[in-house]
Structure 1
Amino acid sequence: MTGSSVPRHPKIEVEVDETLARDLLLEQHPDLADLPLRGRVHGWDNLTWRLGDDLALRFPVRELSAALVVAEQTWLPRLAPMLPVAVPTPVRHGRPGPRYPWPWSVLPWLPGTVAAATDVAGRTAWATELADALAALHVPAPDDAPVNAFRGVPLAARDAVVAARLEDGALPHADALRSAWADGLAAPPYAGTAVWVHGDPHPGNLLAHGTRLGGLIDFGDLCSGDPASDLATAWMTFDERGRAAFVRRARERSGWDDATWRRARAWAAAMVPMLTAHPVEYPLMAAVGRHTAAQVALG
């Protein structure tokens, strides 16, 4: 996983510097404590340190995101064998304690570059691989699968929040975003069996490795429901050519109907306000947001 550090996000509640990360290793996984720590990367919900050459440490940075790490620890070992792409299945668990209040994980470090930092046109080379990976994931989920109020749910459940966000006239292609959201709301809702949903397969959570899809990371929003929220990646990740390849393979593999793709485009529109909200802290994500808006405007 390749990324760059960014300024501290204002919603982070607990900072994990090198000293704290090292101390937690000494307390709980002393056989790993001598490995070098480097490349700290802040995400929206988690902070990652690279540990040695082959491992990473993943720490929730706010109470709200602690449950997301627990979901990864619980479900990724079961889901990983189903998927045709590398995923960061936790190899060890960290316990909460007096100095750090939440569970944390030791993960494999996956080689590759965050797709958000790569040329958009070059992503077409692995568009069908991403479609295959999501098709493998989008299978019926068990009754005890996680529930997520923000992903995989009917669009109507998010309408009040999303519609208000899309009223921001400073958004790129604001009229097209509102139109896409309205069209998704008008589409027939998902009536199939609830399937596994990654929850956030945008270009910041995809790894490119040369001309291949190197990994699907950050399963913190994993849940069950409507796969349309995952399929929004067609607009978030690709240009028109890549999107056509992705959609074609996804239809072949899973048979998603036109209503599903209308809802997916609406989900893509809904993500733009969040992606563009912190351009200083998350410049790559802001660029993803602008790209998504432009692609939604194309149809």
Structure 2
Amino acid sequence: MRELLAEQFPQWAQLDVRPVLPGGNDHRSFRLGDELSVRLPSAPGYVPQVAKEQSWLPRLAPHLPLPVPTVRGAGRPSPLFAAPWSVYGWLPGRNAAVAAIDDRARLAEDLAGFLVALRAADPAGGPAPGLHSAFRGGPVAHWDAEMRDLLHRVQGRDRAIAEGIWRDALAAPSAAEPVWFHGDVAAANLLIRDGALAAVVDFGCAGVGDPACDTVPLWTMFEGAARDVFRETLAVDEATWARGRGWALWKALIMLTNKPPGQADFARRVLGELLAGV
């Protein structure tokens, strides 16, 4: 990292460099001094996300009610690192997976309000769903063949219910015009400060398409009154919720055998919510 900075951004080469922990999957992040961060793709499949974020985050930011990463530098491929990379302004806060949250209903309202504002941003020219978004924003049917294998990770009555959820997701119509979606609305991508939602990060899976994939926090993050607030504020139709339930099921089944064990425990909890008909 220091060599890359010396090569391309010598004005920042003497700043402290520290890994951001816990780290992400698609990208590796470092804190650079007190006011900057660096983000590098972790594998070739994530490289297209770099240029997308650099191009679209500055255009989306003015239309959103919460801060998003600010591009401060666009790193180029070199013999030191054979892919593009980014320097961003540092956004203070702790991710919602580990931070103390004062009011989960308020978090649900703020997050849903952010996603509503994102949906309202001008979609003209935005990236259609594809490999860069793990095909989120496209039809859930893209993952139908994989899902037929994943469904064997649950047995008996649970499998029958899961198969029904997936059938309903495949059958739910999507007639709306494409809109902006985030694509990875996970607790690790939400920054909490003073007990409240302060920023949304990681737009690597963002694009313009079906926003059903952004409904998954209903099952992964919220319960009780907070779940009701998220559902009401997000204000999508029942067909979108059905497709979103399919996305949540797909991801939970993938994570069911993940390591470390905490991810599998999380997946079992989400599956429990889905199979209970929430």
Give your verdict on TM over 0.5.
yes
| Greater shift in the superposed pair: 173-182 or 86-95 | 173-182
- Give the alignment partner of residue 71 of structure 1, picking from 33, 37, 52: 52
- Give the alignment partner of residue 123 of structure 2, picking from 141, 145, 148: 141
- Give the alignment partner of residue 279 of structure 1, picking from 256, 259, 277: 259
SS in 1 for 2:124: coil
Question: For the Cα contact (< 8 Å) 2:3–2:80, is it kept in 1?
Answer: no
Structure 2: 5+ residue stretches without partners: none
Shift of 1:215: 1.4
* Cross-structure match for 1:258: 238
Question: For the Cα contact (< 8 Å) 2:182–2:205, is it kept in 1?
Answer: yes
SS in 1 for 2:253: helix
Shift of 1:144: 4.6
Structure 1: 5+ residue stretches without partners: 1-20
Shift of 1:246: 0.5
2:219 is the alignment partner of 1:235: yes
- Give the alignment partner of residue 165 of structure 2, picking from 180, 184, 188: 180
Question: For the Cα contact (< 8 Å) 1:239–1:295, is it kept in 2?
Answer: no
* Cross-structure match for 2:76: 95
Shift of 1:174: 5.2
- Equivalent positions of 1:1-299 (< 5 A) are 21-41=1-21, 42-118=23-99, 122-139=103-120, 141-149=123-131, 150-169=135-154, 176-187=161-172, 189-251=173-235, 256-280=236-260, 285-298=263-276, 299=278
Question: For the Cα contact (< 8 Å) 1:46–1:58, is it kept in 2?
Answer: yes
Cα distance in 2 for partners of 1:121, 1:153 equals 35
User: Which letter maps to 2:27?
Assistant: N
TM-score (norm 1): 0.83
Shift of 1:145: 2.3
Shift of 1:292: 2.1
Shift of 1:135: 0.3
TM-score (norm 2): 0.89
Shift of 1:114: 1.2
Shift of 1:191: 0.8
Cα distance in 2 for partners of 1:118, 1:58 equals 22
| Greater shift in the superposed pair: 74-83 or 232-241 | 232-241
Q: Deviations over 1:236-285 (max 9, x none)?
A: 1212322111011112xxxx2111111111211111123344322xx664
RMSD: 2.1
Question: For the Cα contact (< 8 Å) 2:129–2:138, is it kept in 1?
Answer: no
Question: For the Cα contact (< 8 Å) 1:148–1:222, is it kept in 2?
Answer: no
Cα distance in 2 for partners of 1:33, 1:178 equals 53
- Provide closer, same or farther for how the CA distance between residues 237 and 119 of structure 1 changes in structure 2, counting only shifts above 3 A: farther
| Greater shift in the superposed pair: 288-297 or 57-66 | 288-297
- Provide closer, same or farther for how the CA distance between residues 46 and 103 of structure 1 changes in structure 2, counting only shifts above 3 A: same
Question: For the Cα contact (< 8 Å) 2:101–2:192, is it kept in 1?
Answer: no
- Give the length in aligned residue pairs: 270
Calculate percent identity across the aligned residue pairs: 37
